[in-house]
Structure 1
């Protein structure tokens, strides 16, 4: 596998706002940093103008378009968002491993040929992924965006959690009962582990090369982690999340990256696993809206940084209710001067009012600066 790229990180513009990097590393900060999952996306009218009828993955694979979509929320909410996140998708790893994925309008991702048998795992999957070649467009988009941001805010790279990606690869899309992936982990546990291990290897290389390309902070989205029971989470999710947290820094050293790159893990719905996630090697654990901030802070006990966790549905509320719930959330996390990053408990919705999001962001700044 290729181990070098032509990008010189020294050539990137100097960073003007490193608030989120300092906070993720556990340093005391003047106010809690703020960004939003899915902040670059369908709720923005300018997103639809640039997308202009193109296929979703076509936009991801076009570095110019992906870069522009990444920067749109930073431009719209100038000085209110403390990080950009590259416009991409967690399912690019299954694509790199040989699986076809299409985005169906109004329905979400669809795998025309999901893994359903052991033969599928042999015939469909590519176990020798050249990440630099197969995901070259992603790295180009990151590098381009770093220059275009001109140091205004740091840039996130990300990937999907191994169990979440396995779920999509087997289910063929979203699910309510997760019949097929549950069948696999209970009838084909050894095969499931082999694929999870390979997904983890690809994720490690992908995240590491995103940093080489210009990413300054990383997040792993284990979006379906909460669909596992506690013991199954310990077997089929946590070991692979830990592997990523352990091996990315090692790989970065091999690639010549000496600086500390903060890493965040988000395992939606995994309420039983917070204590374990706080000890899993990540610098930050992102929380969904099911958590009471005070209870999460108690469990964390100052070990690492927490992120979250406003219910995205609050954005549909009145300005007064948005402000009230933001204040309560930040207070619950101890005021936010250390170990706390403001975010939603999940991503934005396509139907959200951009001005309501502005209310949320402005109130975060106001409350956090007090």
Structure 2
């Protein structure tokens, strides 16, 4: 592994390990995104996946929020997309403007079209190079997060052919072809394992698994179809790192909407941090997970449109919520999902400033 500049701010790493910190570290999902004018200026000249596949461009977008909010933000997350994994499996993915698969998987026989033996490092090496370049460019200011999508979420896109409100096609698979579905979920998980290990080798200091559609499954079906592949990823990543004598890094799971599964996830999934959405109170989340994991979240992204008074009020309420309850005091402040494109960057700055102000006594 390459030698990188010494890390100057390890707040999020300590919190992810469950340690008490002097204040809550803070970052936001999709922080390198369309709400930033500097992002849109670069995006005007390059297609989405061109940026993902060009390490220098991915590095630049990753660094933009770190530059703008220097001293206020405690982690960078590499600019990429969860759908690079289906691409590595041989599927075509377009972004116009949302994700579109021209040739989705309609029936289990279509799985034969996927690449049989995926050389993940060759297929997604551009992400690794972007991570390595970004680690050097960060000069130790904050840690760098790598990520992938969860198998259930990727499975949904691969079968639906894009976003969906009904999940009709992918749920048809679950209930009509349960064993074939589990086999495909495991196959996706194995690519995710290699992808996360590659990102860690390249310099990622934490990794996050995004199960964006976790809440679309009943508790029984989540336990049947999503949880096993999530466990497969956490165990597989740790085993491969250990076999290569590479130190483990903290792993975060964001199972959006699966709040009824938090206790089971904390107990069984094998992650260090669980991200929660805004549809559960911090106190209830703490009660569910106990001292088994750190928590990340969970302000409603819509609050960022409410003005400074509302942002301050809600950050204060969120911080107070994470103070109480049993278990670890470790908390990583974030939104309950990704920041949306219409947010004023100055209002996000105020969010960061309020987290610094109100989390100091809640984390220490």
Superposition TM-score tier, normalisation by shorter sequence: over 0.9
2: CA distance between counterparts of 1:205 and 1:237?
19
**Matching residue of 1:120:** 110
**Matching residue of 2:244:** 255
2: CA distance between counterparts of 1:230 and 1:52?
42
Residues 207-236 of structure 1: per-residue CA shift (max 9 Å, x gap): 001000000000000001110111110011
CA contact (8 A) 1:63 1:144 kept: yes
Deviation at 1:118, TM superposition (A): 2.3
**Matching residue of 1:357:** 348
| Counterpart among 273, 280, 295 of residue 291 in structure 1 | 280
**Matching residue of 1:4:** none
CA contact (8 A) 1:335 1:368 kept: no
- Give the superposed CA RMSD: 1.2
**Matching residue of 2:25:** 33
2: CA distance between counterparts of 1:312 and 1:190?
37
Structure 1 segment 76-91 matched on structure 2, within 5 A: 76-91=68-83
Matched, 1:341 2:329: no
2: CA distance between counterparts of 1:335 and 1:34?
19
Residues 67-87 of structure 1: per-residue CA shift (max 9 Å, x gap): 000010000001111000000
Matched, 1:60 2:73: no
1: CA distance between counterparts of 2:146 and 2:290?
27
2: CA distance between counterparts of 1:28 and 1:239?
30
2: CA distance between counterparts of 1:300 and 1:254?
30
Structure 1 segment 103-118 matched on structure 2, within 5 A: 103-105=95-97, 108-118=98-108
2: CA distance between counterparts of 1:302 and 1:340?
12
| Counterpart among 332, 355, 358 of residue 321 in structure 2 | 332
Matched, 1:197 2:189: no
Q: Structure 1 length normalisation: TM-score?
A: 0.95
**Matching residue of 2:13:** 21
Matched, 1:227 2:219: no
1: CA distance between counterparts of 2:359 and 2:330?
13
Residues 157-191 of structure 1: per-residue CA shift (max 9 Å, x gap): 00000000000000000101011001001111111
Residues 268-300 of structure 1: per-residue CA shift (max 9 Å, x gap): 111210101111110010000101111111112
**Matching residue of 1:5:** none
Deviation at 1:338, TM superposition (A): 2.8
2: CA distance between counterparts of 1:327 and 1:118?
49
CA contact (8 A) 1:143 1:214 kept: yes
Matched, 1:131 2:107: no
Structure 1: give runs of 5+ residues left out of the alignment: 1-7
User: In structure 2, the residue corresponding to 1:156 is in which secondary structure?
Assistant: strand
1: CA distance between counterparts of 2:68 and 2:266?
34
Structure 2: give runs of 5+ residues left out of the alignment: none
CA contact (8 A) 1:275 1:300 kept: yes
User: In structure 1, the residue corresponding to 2:207 is in which secondary structure?
Assistant: strand
**Matching residue of 1:3:** none
Deviation at 1:335, TM superposition (A): 7.1
Deviation at 1:369, TM superposition (A): 2.3
| Counterpart among 167, 175, 182 of residue 164 in structure 2 | 175
CA contact (8 A) 1:32 1:338 kept: no
2: CA distance between counterparts of 1:286 and 1:117?
33
2: CA distance between counterparts of 1:203 and 1:349?
26
CA contact (8 A) 1:293 1:333 kept: yes
CA contact (8 A) 2:241 2:248 kept: no
User: In structure 2, the residue corresponding to 1:237 is in which secondary structure?
Assistant: helix
Point out 4+ residue stretches in structure 1 off by more than 6 angstroms: none
May I ask how many residue pairs the two structures share in their alignment? 358
1: CA distance between counterparts of 2:303 and 2:109?
46
2: CA distance between counterparts of 1:73 and 1:203?
26
| Counterpart among 235, 246, 262 of residue 274 in structure 1 | 262
